[in-house]
A = this chain, B = another copy of it.
């Protein structure tokens, strides 16, 4: 009985897969404040040119530089598992495989892009990176990568998380990063918010605005984003490329692929290399899972919208609930985002993906069953993928079909145990998204241009 399929370092992929090469039709371009497509040079104050090139590239395969491979090798290739004990508990006719991205030093898939981003900034001559973080997974990952490549890292952490999760801040400090609460007095935007609302808990939107303002003001500084953008999806493709090799070693191929999706990067990571097979005719059910409280893909339209709340970023074509929408405070902080990666959104539009939404209580229920069978304690975000696995397994039973399910176990929940406490004590609430919320949210995108096919 094989539990774990490992790859040696020699078997680690040497190229990332860029799905932009294989889209049925190309992605609509980002638009500037004037509604016109923006060129790469307009992003230059924010990102280094080598990453901008990846952002707009349509080359199918992009080489992974050796110094990046060396750092990735600390936790990659990540193991692929067969979840025997969980299968037994479910008693459904399914084989369940999962990719364990919790083995990275930061505990999630985030370092897969933090390391390349730090490297490309470093070789471009950048000395310092700014970023925002909500729950803290991304801020931790970039802090680690910054330490590895000798870059100064400044993290603007949403104040409420900063106060509630002192250990996340400590992790970043261990890696030498400077993590401060946002809104802060260190940017003019932060000061303006503090002046109006001194007691604000902060928001991801505010933190992004501060991080960008900080970055564009210093020649030696750039900004770094942990999801949504094309180059982030590219870097995460290593997950699915490894999984393909490992499934082959297992002598199996997935009927269903599942990943949770907030900005879309861990889902894209496991799914995109298989989406290529689907485009080429394979029959696979590919399922991104979002929270019912923030149902970007299942309720939000495909539209042009800003990536941040303040509307400082270019307009991107994506499924969105409106950039001013503030999702309910569910525990899966990484899934509380109003938009969805343009590449994931495009594939939803093309009907290559079948998004679903779930409530947090059923996610924690699945995560508890998982911990007590497979051992690992899942991040609140990851629990959404788990609950979708349960749904698919039960569906297979009802249909009387044998199925092979592959999902991305995107990270461990050791830094986020409070949600389990609330679940175990029955204090966890399910939140539904309302028609009124949708109506209110979409006001923010009224009058903006529409992408092709919207």
Pick the residue among B6, B148, B368, B417 that contacts A171 (CB under 8 A): B417
Pick the residue among B6, B8, B144, B414 that contacts A415 (CB under 8 A): B414
Please, which residues of chain B bring their CB within 8 A of the CB of A85? 148
- Interface segment, one of A193-201, A278-286, A291-299, A371-379: A371-379
Please, which residues of chain B bring their CB within 8 A of the CB of A417? 167, 170-171, 174
Q: Is A65 an interface residue (CB 8 A)?
A: no
B103/A375 in contact, CB under 8 A: no
Nearest neighbor of A425 in chain B, beta-carbon distance: B173
Nearest neighbor of A414 in chain B, beta-carbon distance: B414
Identical subunits present: 2
B372/A175 in contact, CB under 8 A: yes
CA distance A91 to B214 in the complex (A): 36
Nearest neighbor of A85 in chain B, beta-carbon distance: B148
A375/B74 in contact, CB under 8 A: yes
Q: How far is the CB of A338 from chain B (nearest CB, A)?
A: 30
Q: Is A107 an interface residue (CB 8 A)?
A: yes
CA distance A376 to B148 in the complex (A): 11
User: Could you say which of A85, A106, A174, A376 has the most chain B C-beta atoms within 10 Å of its C-beta?
Assistant: A174
Pick the residue among B7, B8, B144, B368 that contacts A375 (CB under 8 A): B144
Q: Is A176 an interface residue (CB 8 A)?
A: yes
Within A5-33, which residues are at the interface with B (CB < 8 Å)? 6-9
CA distance A8 to B111 in the complex (A): 25
A377/B2 in contact, CB under 8 A: no
Please, which residues of chain B bring their CB within 8 A of the CB of A371? 105, 144, 147, 174-175
A74/B374 in contact, CB under 8 A: yes
CA distance A104 to B100 in the complex (A): 12
Q: How far is the CB of A410 from chain B (nearest CB, A)?
A: 16
Q: Is A4 an interface residue (CB 8 A)?
A: yes
Please, which residues of chain B bring their CB within 8 A of the CB of A373? 147-148
Q: How far is the CB of A5 from chain B (nearest CB, A)?
A: 8
Q: How far is the CB of A392 from chain B (nearest CB, A)?
A: 22
B105/A375 in contact, CB under 8 A: yes
A105/B377 in contact, CB under 8 A: yes
Q: Is A397 an interface residue (CB 8 A)?
A: no
CA distance A239 to B407 in the complex (A): 30
Q: Can you spell out 25 A-B residue pairs with CB atoms less than 8 angstroms apart? A: A2-B9, A3-B9, A3-B73, A4-B9, A6-B7, A70-B84, A74-B375, A74-B376, A85-B148, A104-B375, A105-B375, A105-B376, A106-B375, A107-B414, A147-B372, A147-B373, A167-B417, A170-B417, A170-B420, A170-B421, A171-B377, A171-B414, A174-B368, A174-B420, A174-B424
